[in-house]
Amino acid sequence: MGKPVPHDTEFSDAGALVYGDNLPLMRALSEGTCDLIYLDPPFKTLKVRGSRDGADYDDRWPGGTQGYLDFLRPRLIEVHRLLSEKGSLYLHLDWRVVHYAKVELDRIFGPDNFLNEIIWSYRTGGLSKRRFARKHDTILLYAKSNGNHTFNLVRAGAFRTDGLKHDRRGRLYKNTRNGPLYFHSEGPALTDVWDIPFLSTVSSERTGYPSQKPEALLARIIEASSDPGDLVADFFCGSGTTCAVAARLDRRWLGCDHSEEAVAVAALRLGTEPHEQGRSLTDT
Ligand SMILES: C[S@@+](CC[C@H](N)C(=O)[O-])C[C@H]1O[C@@H](n2cnc3c(N)ncnc32)[C@H](O)[C@@H]1O
């Protein structure tokens, strides 16, 4: 891996993938550079994974939850600085630490900039006989400046049709005391509960990287909270899902990961040569 870390101006074209720790990279970027940041950090699963080529994924935290938050907090502070006035953060976690992270984000962004707790619901994996099966992740959505943030209403799924009628032009409506009430032709507005299947073990989307997220999830986030030409950043990019979807949707993108394995997978997926963090940056 070769190219030095890009300067801000290099994001003006298409995208950049950086190999290295995300904190020095964030600190080296200018305030307000990013329009949308998606973070999918380790979830504090306490698991260690070895891959065939010997690269490890270590999600154990000396110091427990406090140790984990000591890692996350400075990164969230940088994310807040990096977002543009119209920018948003999506922080993807699960039951283990999301509630602690919410408290941190309220402190950093201010509670008035909290927009949504998104539930990503899926049905993968085993069941428990001792409690309800845990079948969702939680994604916290914050605006840099609530009211100035980009938000494109997304419509998905279908209305319940029992009791509804179609008019002569095929439009769905119901009769109310005030006359016919028409339903939007593109379906209901999306709520904060998202039913999106996990990647199946045989999905053609699979790169082989263990914690890879579905492109459908990222497409929804990117379409809702950015516009073509915006810069979408993922500082825990893993296999590069966010960057791949951002590129497809005509956004500029920035990905970073400190795992050699992840960056190799992402580079192949994105058809790019990664930048490598220089000593001057890692020393900061
Ligand atoms: C849950 S995975 C992300 C998966 C990704 N969303 C995808 O679709 O492939 C978390 C990633 O964070 C990376 N990571 C953890 N700590 C990091 C750090 N300090 N700097 C950069 N990357 C880090 C890990 O190597 C891992 O690839």
Q: Which atom of ligand 1 approaches the CA of 241 most closely?
A: 8
Class of domain 3-154+191-282: alpha beta
Q: 156 burial class (0-12, 13-18, 19+ CB within 10 angstroms)?
A: middle
What is the residue extent of each domain of the chain? 3-154+191-282, 155-189
Residue 5's pLDDT band (cuts 50, 70, 90): low
Confirm if 21 and 282 have CB atoms less than 8 A apart: yes
Shortest-distance Cα residue to atom 26 of ligand 1: 238
Secondary structure (3-state) at 74 = helix
Report the separation in Å between the CA atom of 242 and the middle of ligand 1, taken as the mean of its atom positions: 12
CA of 259 to the centre of ligand 1 (A): 7
Q: Give the pLDDT confidence of 161-181 residue by residue, as tens digits.
A: 788 899 999 999 999 999 999
Specify whether the CB–CB gap between 38 and 232 falls below 8 A: yes
**What is the rounded CA–CA span in Å between residue 93 and residue 65?**
13
pTM: 0.91
Residues with CB under 6 A from ligand 1: 21-22, 40-42, 209, 211-213, 236, 238-239, 241, 256-259, 262
CA of 256 to the centre of ligand 1 (A): 8
Q: Ligand 1: distance of its center to the CA of 250 in Å?
A: 23
Report d(CA 77, CA 60) in Å as an integer. Answer: 22
pLDDT value, residue 279:
37
Higher pLDDT, 121 or 1: 121
